[in-house]
Amino acid sequence: MKERLNSAEIKHHNKQFIYRTLLALGSSTKTEIAARTRLSIPTATQAIEELTAAGLIEETGYQASSGGRRAVSFRALRNARLSVGVDVSRNHLNLALVNLAGEVVASRRIRTAITPGPSFYEDIRGPLLDFLSEESVRLSSLAGLGVSLPGIISRDQTKLLYSHVLGLDRPLGLKPILPEAGIPVRFFNDATSACMAELYTGTAPSDFCFVFLGNSVGGAFVNDKKILPGYHERSGEIGHILIVPGGRKCYCGKCGHYDPYGSALLLSEPAGGQLSVFFRGLEEGNAEYAAIFDEYLQHLALLIYDLGVMTDTPVILGGYVAGYLTPYLDRLSGLVRDLNIFEGSDNMILLSHYQFEASAVGSARYFIEDFISSL
């Protein structure tokens, strides 16, 4: 049975819907918003008045008209609130500033070594403060700070439990990076936040498997637009699926897991650490790169086939490698098709909208969604 909403909840829901519609349109009139949302003009009028009073939209004058009364036009002040996301990896920080429309207003990729020792917070805090200062962002005006980490975070947000990527040998206590800002802070697993970025685009399927092909491989399972956390916050640890018994050693210490066959490092390391150099070489016919990539695609096809059999949902490929896969998607689909035992499963492989900035964007957008939901 469908739950019935009370009048306050309906009003709250309508206001959000009107605001999201105006954010998507950029600018509009009361009549147009009412028509698009199929709500009444008095409902649209009241929501617009409240959103104007909250400083989230403004009147921009009269819309051009071919006759009759000219309608007042409004626009969403997309940068009225910003949220910041930091994605921490072993050798990089990715920073992204996101506005109310979910647009990336500014981003940086900084090469710096991060170790979970005494300098951990300062290693993150320093570049983050520099970034916010360069973008003239007041700390107190931020809707929140999302921090994406390459590891498993405790459900109560107090500890980074595991991180092979950062070389963590015991749980690390987590504390706010910018305590003086007085803003909400939340920590996320990097693959989970990259998957969140995908979900927030609004164009992702309701159910899918997300495969994060970064320097380590991660993933997430999405059911009805929600990421499944698992009992121990470890759902979607796709990098540790056993695909070659007795095979290459995984960074976790066991052998034959998917990570040593799917890590972006397999491709970047032969090219001096640059994925772009690898893919350029591949295009130019480098035979060594072609052999590495053939094997890489075969293992990726195996993983996609296994995920498809288990979940019967599309697979979205994200992470650094996915940004280069467009020209090879048909070949990859062909390899999966060769393995497939079911008919009609084509077009089940999609590529993420984001590349390097995915995890930073996903963790920042969490607070934008939170802010809009609270209106």
Q: Which stretch binds Zn ion (CB under 5 A): 28-36, 71-79, 242-250, 272-280?
A: 242-250
Q: Which stretch binds Zn ion (CB under 5 A): 92-100, 212-220, 235-243, 306-314?
A: 235-243
Shortest CB 349 distance to Zn ion, Å: 24
Shortest CB 256 distance to Zn ion, Å: 9
Q: Which stretch binds Zn ion (CB under 5 A): 20-28, 243-251, 345-353, 361-369?
A: 243-251
Q: Which is nearer to Zn ion, 77 or 255 (CB)?
A: 255
Q: Which stretch binds Zn ion (CB under 5 A): 239-247, 268-276, 302-310, 327-335?
A: 239-247
The amino acid present at 317, given as its one-letter code, is: L
Closest CA to 193 of 85, 316, 325: 85
Which 8-state DSSP code applies to residue 123? Answer: H
Element (H, E) at 304: helix 287-311
Transcribe 307-322 into DSSP letters: HHHHH-S-EEEESTGG
Rounded Cα–Cα distance for residues 290 and 283 (Å): 9
| 247-266: contacts with Zn ion (CB under 5 A) | 250, 252, 257
| Residue 164 in contact with Zn ion, rule: CB under 5 A | no
The residue at minimum Cβ distance from Zn ion is 250
| Residue 335 in contact with Zn ion, rule: CB under 5 A | no
Cα separation of the two ends of the chain? 27
Q: Which is nearer to Zn ion, 107 or 263 (CB)?
A: 263
Which of 12, 240, 280, 353 is in the footprint of Zn ion by CB under 5 A?
240
Range 171-174 contact pairs with CB under 8 angstroms and sequence separation of 24 or more: 172/116, 172/120
HSE, side-chain direction, 13 A CA sphere, residue 319: 25
Q: With contacts defined by CB under 5 A, how many residues of the chain interact with Zn ion?
A: 4
Contact 360, 200 (CB under 8 A): no
Contacts with Zn ion, residue ranges (CB under 5 A): 240, 250, 252, 257
